Structure 1
Amino acid sequence: MIKRCILLLFFSLTCQAEQLIPGEMINQDLERALPEYQYRQLEAGEQRFSVLFNEHTIANNMGVAILINDFGMPHLGPQSLGPLAGYLNNEGWVTLVMTAPDVDFHPLQNTGAEQQDPPAESTKPSEPAVRLSAEQLEQFETLLSERIAAATEFAQSYPGFVLLVAQGISAAALLDSYAEQQQGLPDALVTVSPYWPDPQRNHQLAQKMASLTMPVLDIYNRWNNAWTLSKRQQRLIAAQKALKLHYRQREIIGTDLIAGQYPYLAREVQGWLIHMGW
């Protein structure tokens, strides 16, 4: 009888856990771990999501910086943009750190042995383990645009600029969206290792980035995945051909994003903004 009760309890808990989607679990983890003043709850269409919130720490208020992590990364996960927020706060930015929306695809993961050498510029991205359909990509782009719109509306309650810092697939989705609409643009965009895990879409990123009217800071690292690195030079050439104003491409030295690189990344962002007269 006792064994049966234990099995029923275990089955019940398992069913409840399966009903939670990853995004909801991330939101719950954030809300349980932090006091209310360190996060905000936003709504975008049918989405309800939590963002990590921090005020600027100096008298000068630059505006609001919205940081969007790569697909599948929690707010403060390793190699996410979360740790960058504190450095931007010290430069006068109010920061919102948000996760990418949940869809039914997962980017290709490196399951092989530990990488010994960074991929060369000529490295071609391997085929994705699961082919991503156009519907899945469009769904991700639409849901992300809705989240950005909600965060931008929240940012309007603060004076100053709106700066977007996006990473990985999230950065690629925003480049696609802004290139098509050319409206509702932020004052500036920072892309950190942008890529689509799809050959055709990834190839088109360079021209879409070059077509944007807003300033773009293009950040990469030589230890990024091959999807990003294979098109790095193409993005630079496309921007130069388009005579794109206030485009800058910078390499973050060292391995992929780790604790010691966030101050360097923040200095690259702030130096670029100062160069533009902000």
Structure 2
Amino acid sequence: MQKTSIDNISPNKISRKLRGLFIGALTFICSTNTIFAEEKKADVAQEKTSKTATNANSANTIEKPIALTTQHKADLKHYLSVEQVKPLLAGPNDYLTLVKRYTSANSKGVAILLPEWQQGATNPKAINYLRNALPAEGWSTIAIQPNNKPENYPSSAITLSEQKKENKLILKNYKNKLGAMLNAVMNTAKEYPGIVLVIAQGNNAALLVDLYSEAGNQLPNALILLSSYRKSNPGLTNSVNEKFARQLAFTELPVLDLYLKHDNPLVLAKAAQRKSFAKQEMKVYYRQRQLNNYITGYYPEKELLIQINGWLKAIGW
């Protein structure tokens, strides 16, 4: 049998064989790349699904922000001494107060300090300065950590009548708690000799006047207002602040009404109305003063103390 020699194979046959091998190899490579590409797509899709599930689980486990009042209480307990921080129970609700005894030779009485809602008992705008300065003037001070601003206030209802109705219900609950707290603080203040002076700020000051116009609330001997006004919906702002001004004019409490040159626009807009109503009712122990300040909302410390001492001496204290 005759053997086949490579020399006897024609170049055309070799070329066709090599072409076939090349095409086969190329087909194998392409098919392999296709398989790898499909596997990679599957892996990417699975990774996206896994990330989506992880994010969904994370969203479900995110905790709600800590309430501002809770944060204030935690800060007071952490940064101030145990001797100053005193718990207070008013009905089912608990509060924190900061107590400092007078350091002068004689005691004049107790000054209860109520900051604006959303602010702490060590609010640097005025309250904290008075808390530390008044004891040297003969006053024991009780600074209160108030409740946070009522939720959903002012109302987001569509019509004005609905806003008015919802606001009344929201503030009724807040005022009930505020009244119970003030009565509890007043009971504590009676343990100290002398008169009781309340210094209140912002919306809480206006709500206090509302409470003092109702029966069943213990009254202090005098009231000092710091930048007081009533916040409400745009369509109700004028009416609620007019009501506040009339209640202030009718109250028998001696009142020192202080506000700032650079203050909340609503405070500046309604200050003249309060003074006018007080004059109409011939309110004897009423004084209103505007204090010059450089930083909006911050009371000049020395001038604030001078105004308070001067007014107290004018009414015999």
| TM-score normalised over the length of structure 1 | 0.82
Off by >6 Å, runs of 4+ in structure 1:
10-13
The match for 2:130 among 84, 106, 124 is: 84
Query: Would the aligned equivalents of 1:189 and 1:215 in 2 still touch at CA under 8 Å?
Result: yes
Using a 3 Å threshold, how does the CA distance of structure 1 residues 64 and 14 change in structure 2: closer, same or farther?
A: farther
Q: Map 1:1-150 to 2 at 5 A.
A: 15=63, 18=65, 20-102=66-148, 103-105=150-152, 133-150=167-184
Using a 3 Å threshold, how does the CA distance of structure 1 residues 219 and 13 change in structure 2: closer, same or farther?
A: farther
Q: State whether structure 2 residue 227 is matched by structure 1 residue 227.
A: no
Query: Would the aligned equivalents of 1:195 and 1:227 in 2 still touch at CA under 8 Å?
Result: yes
More helix per residue = 2
Q: Hey, what's the Cα distance between the residues in 2 that align with 1:140 and 1:29?
A: 23
In angstroms, what is the RMSD of aligned CA positions?
2.8
Query: Would the aligned equivalents of 1:64 and 1:93 in 2 still touch at CA under 8 Å?
Result: yes
Identical aligned residues as a percent? 30
Q: Deviations over 1:31-66 (max 9, x none)?
A: 111111112110111211111111111111011100
Q: Which has the larger radius of gyration?
A: 2
Q: Hey, what's the Cα distance between the residues in 2 that align with 1:61 and 1:178?
A: 26
Please state how far the C-alpha of 1:77 moved relative to its aligned partner.
Answer: 3.0
2:285: which partner in 1? 246
Structure 1, 60-69 or 23-32: larger mean CA deviation: 23-32
Q: Which amino acid aligns with 1:262?
A: E
| Structure 2 unaligned blocks of 5 or more | 1-54, 155-159
Q: Number of paired residues?
A: 251
Q: Which amino acid aligns with 2:263?
A: N
2:298: which partner in 1? 258
Q: Hey, what's the Cα distance between the residues in 1 that align with 2:172 and 2:124?
A: 27
Q: Hey, what's the Cα distance between the residues in 2 that align with 1:69 and 1:174?
A: 12
Give the match's secondary structure for 2:244. Answer: helix
Q: Which amino acid aligns with 1:88?
A: L
Q: Map 1:177-216 to 2 at 5 A.
A: 177-181=211-215, 184-198=218-232, 199=237, 200-216=239-255
Give the match's secondary structure for 2:213. Answer: helix
Q: Hey, what's the Cα distance between the residues in 2 that align with 1:106 and 1:95?
A: 30
Q: Hey, what's the Cα distance between the residues in 2 that align with 1:25 and 1:13?
A: 21
| Structure 1 unaligned blocks of 5 or more | 1-6, 108-126
Please state how far the C-alpha of 1:257 moved relative to its aligned partner.
Answer: 4.2
Using a 3 Å threshold, how does the CA distance of structure 1 residues 156 and 238 change in structure 2: closer, same or farther?
A: same
Q: State whether structure 2 residue 315 is matched by structure 1 residue 269.
A: no
Q: Hey, what's the Cα distance between the residues in 2 that align with 1:36 and 1:226?
A: 39
Q: Deviations over 1:119-153 (max 9, x none)?
A: xxxxxxxx9xx987211122222211111111111
Q: Which amino acid aligns with 2:123?
A: G
Query: Would the aligned equivalents of 1:202 and 1:227 in 2 still touch at CA under 8 Å?
Result: no
Q: Hey, what's the Cα distance between the residues in 2 that align with 1:11 and 1:62?
A: 56
Query: Would the aligned equivalents of 2:264 and 2:297 in 1 still touch at CA under 8 Å?
Result: no
